[in-house]
Amino acid sequence: MRKLTTILAALGLLVGLLPGATAGPGPQGVSSDNIEQVTFLPFEAGTATGANFFSQGKSRYMIVTGWKTFSIYDVSDPGNPQIVGTPVPFGFKFENEDVATNGEIMLFSESLPQNILHIWNIEDVSNPVQVAELPGAGQHTTDCILNCKWAYGSSGAISDLRNPAKPKLMKEKWTDGLKAVSNQHDVTEVAPGLVISASQPMVFLDARKDPRNPKLLAMSEPNEQVGEAPVHSNIWPRKGKDKFLLVTGESWSPTNGSGQCTEDRNQGFSTWDATKWKKTHTFKRIDVFKSKNGTITDGGAVVNAPFGCSSHWFTAHPKFKNGGLVASAWYTQGTRLLKVNSKGKISEIGWFLPHAGATSAAYWVDNEYIYAVDYQRGVDVLRYTGKG
């Protein structure tokens, strides 16, 4: 994800000043009648990129990262998150938008200006400490594998973290032998040792026996990508037991200067059939949802930044089972609340459109609360009040 934050900020400000922008639940944005904004957490560095959640004892926490700091919040009461200690500064590092943690260590994957994987000990949430740096392993995103004993980077790096203070970069890559794979953006561990990539095509790998040499299990059908654009991220609910694989796509389209979600720059959220992969070794796309421009009060931004029509980080509702609710970030289109029916068809049932925003990620914290992380603003704490 290669974003131009100055363009996002300028266009986000324009959206915030357009007529109708004062409607809705409060001063931070407008929403459908089944979503309310509970509170707002301004991010100290101004570039909140992503988050992750973990538990210690009876308490639950959220890590929010940016380009200059990260912060930890106690979210045991999801409607009233409280920062723990103070923000942790570390200087400019890009970008760690998909935070990886097992509740003991946290991985900050720095691709720019240096290619370094930073390993932090977060067992004392009030005093996180960096315990190691691993040059060559800091790719655009990095995910924990097998309870953070290993890590996979988006460009293929495999890191041995069995001793977090003395990490090792393997000579092998998880992309070895996958000559057809390109445009890797992320990897997701759907169950211990079972990994699916956000790439063209998507690949499903088994790293349980040998993380250094994962076995290819299945891949998406050729030419069946999300909106024919690079895959950004994916989730396979219920640890890979659900019949649907959920996917978002992202693209940059500088040829269109209209700021509108036209077909050439409109990348969406899609559902994929995951019921036949053991037999066919493939996943097949079912449906795609794409955002539309609007008048703000109808949930659609009037104009968009170059990435504004692309879906981004998303999560499935905790009770998602062969269908259900999904909360997805959509840059200047805010947070979109989608429903997947039992056949994999997608419909939109709600939205939250912040003023002057650029929403990076939307996380279901529990059955009701959604945290929307925003590049330009911070974190919107939203509550879903509808049915289902």
The tens place of each residue's pLDDT in the chain, 388 residues long, gives 444 333 333 334 333 333 333 334 456 899 999 999 999 998 865 678 889 999 999 999 999 998 888 999 999 999 999 999 999 988 888 887 889 999 999 999 999 889 999 999 999 999 999 999 999 999 999 999 999 999 999 999 999 999 999 999 999 999 999 988 988 999 999 999 999 999 989 999 999 999 999 999 999 986 554 444 578 999 999 999 999 999 998 876 544 456 777 766 677 899 999 999 999 999 999 999 998 888 888 888 888 776 777 889 999 999 999 999 999 999 889 999 999 999 999 999 999 999 888 899 999 999 999 999 998 889 999 999 998 6
Say what the pTM is.
0.90
User: 179 Cβ partners below 8 Å, 6+ apart?
Assistant: none
Helix, strand or coil, per DSSP, at residue 274 = coil
Torsion 210-211-212-214 (CA) sign: positive
Torsion of CA 324, 327, 330, 336, to 10 degrees: 70
User: 330 Cβ partners below 8 Å, 6+ apart?
Assistant: 291, 308, 309, 310, 311, 312, 336, 359
Fill in the DSSP letter of residue 161: -
- CA 343, chain centre distance (Å): 24
Whether 207 contacts 174, CB under 8 Å? yes
3-state helix, strand, coil in the chain (%, to 5): 5, 45, 45
Q: In what order do the strands lie in the sheet with 82-89?
A: 50-56, 59-65, 69-74, 82-89
Whether 97 contacts 385, CB under 8 Å? no
User: 122 Cβ partners below 8 Å, 6+ apart?
Assistant: 63, 72, 101, 103, 104, 105, 106, 128
Burial category of 329 from C-beta neighbours within 10 Å (exposed 0-12, middle 13-18, buried 19 and up) = buried
Range 164-168 contact pairs with CB under 8 angstroms and sequence separation of 24 or more: 164/105, 164/119, 164/121, 164/131, 164/132, 165/119, 165/131, 165/132, 166/132, 167/117, 167/119, 167/132, 167/134, 167/137, 168/134
- CA 339, chain centre distance (Å): 18
Residue length, the chain? 388
How confident is the model at residue 274, as a pLDDT?
97
User: 134 Cβ partners below 8 Å, 6+ apart?
Assistant: 116, 117, 119, 159, 167, 168, 169
The maximal CA–CA distance of the chain, rounded, in angstroms, is 58
Phi, psi of 53 (to 5 degrees): -125, 145
- CA 293, chain centre distance (Å): 22
How confident is the model at residue 123, as a pLDDT?
97
Q: Which two tokens stand for residue 259?
A: 């700021």
Fill in the DSSP letter of residue 9: H
User: How far, in Å, CA of 304 to CA of 319, rounded?
Assistant: 32
Give the count of beta carbons closer than 10 Å to the beta carbon of residue 342.
11
User: How far, in Å, CA of 366 to CA of 305, rounded?
Assistant: 31
User: How far, in Å, CA of 211 to CA of 187, rounded?
Assistant: 14
